[in-house]
Structure 1
Amino acid sequence: MSSGELSDAEFLRAVETVNYPGKFGHLSHLRLAWLCLRAHGFEGGLERIRAMVLNFATTLGATDKFHETMTRAWAESMQAALDATPDLDTFEGFLAAHPRLLDVRLLGRHYRKETLDSPAAKAGWVPPDLEPLPSRRQASR
């Protein structure tokens, strides 16, 4: 079974139990964010994303891959897109409406490479230093 054939519940369970079929790449991260943010709002969703990605990385012995600024910046971008199109109820429809999210270099519009590569950005939240992230509603759902 490929990751695209998993239901949302199966996908979340596979990530939680680190039994994800195949590579957990950009599209998988986007799907995780989409599910968590829709279910828990921004703050709760961000915490859930952090916990799941850290658990996944820790279990695989790759804790050094977790990057706080990238995690939050992607969550901010995803939440802004969710806020703009709240009635889209499929991940595929969401991506079709927001194809820019598929660009793995998207954060390069908002951050200098040196900023994202810094230990401070990896360990904690660093705001954009080129262009602000898309606006999201400030209230959690």
Structure 2
Amino acid sequence: MTLTEKYGEMTERFEARSLDARGFSHVDHIGVACQMLQRYEFLEAAFRFGSALRAIAAKAGAADKFNATVTLAFLSLLSERMAATPHESFDEFLEKNPDLTSRSLMETWYSPGRLGSDRARKSFLMPDKFSS
């Protein structure tokens, strides 16, 4: 199943901010983000995704869960992986990039304190962990 077939309608509801946050899984976040990265140039996709995600979180009473750093870092990683990973479907893309489904993936580059800070929630912070 293609990304559009799997996440096209969900992305429409996401952008319209009518998506119910309940049941919107981590993999759904990835699918919608990938769909938007295909539809728009990176900066527009980042703006649209971030704005919609923030609004949906606020509507669900969880405005404090939005994290600008996680959002932009994850979109950057997805964009890079989408370009570097030949794939015919969203499922194949995830099979080739299983680490993307880990909720702790960002801890590869960010300490928990930095990633969970108020500053990280409000604006993008550079990583504070570097591989040697």
- TM-superposed CA distance for 1:57, in Å, is 1.3
2:12 is the alignment partner of 1:13: yes
Give the secondary-structure state (helix, strand or coil) at the position aligned to 1:61: coil
1:61-72 matches, cutoff 5 A? 61-72=61-72
| Aligned-residue RMSD, C-alpha | 1.9
1:1-141 matches, cutoff 5 A? 7-15=6-14, 16-20=16-20, 22-85=22-85, 87-131=86-130
TM-score computed with the length of structure 2 as normaliser: 0.84
**Structure 2 unaligned spans of 5+:** none
- TM-superposed CA distance for 1:129, in Å, is 0.6
Output one character per residue of 1:46-84: Cα deviation in whole Å (capped at 9) or x when no partner.
111112201211222221111100101111110110120
- TM-superposed CA distance for 1:33, in Å, is 0.9
Output one character per residue of 1:77-129: Cα deviation in whole Å (capped at 9) or x when no partner.
101101202x5242112111211111111111100111011111111000111
Change (3 A) 1:21 1:116: closer
Identity value in percent: 25
The answer to whether the 8 A contact 1:68-1:122 is kept is: yes
The answer to whether the 8 A contact 1:18-1:59 is kept is: no
Change (3 A) 1:109 1:19: closer
TM-score computed with the length of structure 1 as normaliser: 0.79
Corresponding pairs, count: 126
| CA distance, structure 1, for counterparts of residue 102 and residue 71 of structure 2 | 15
| CA distance, structure 2, for counterparts of residue 92 and residue 41 of structure 1 | 23
**Structure 1 unaligned spans of 5+:** 1-5, 133-141
| CA distance, structure 2, for counterparts of residue 21 and residue 54 of structure 1 | 11
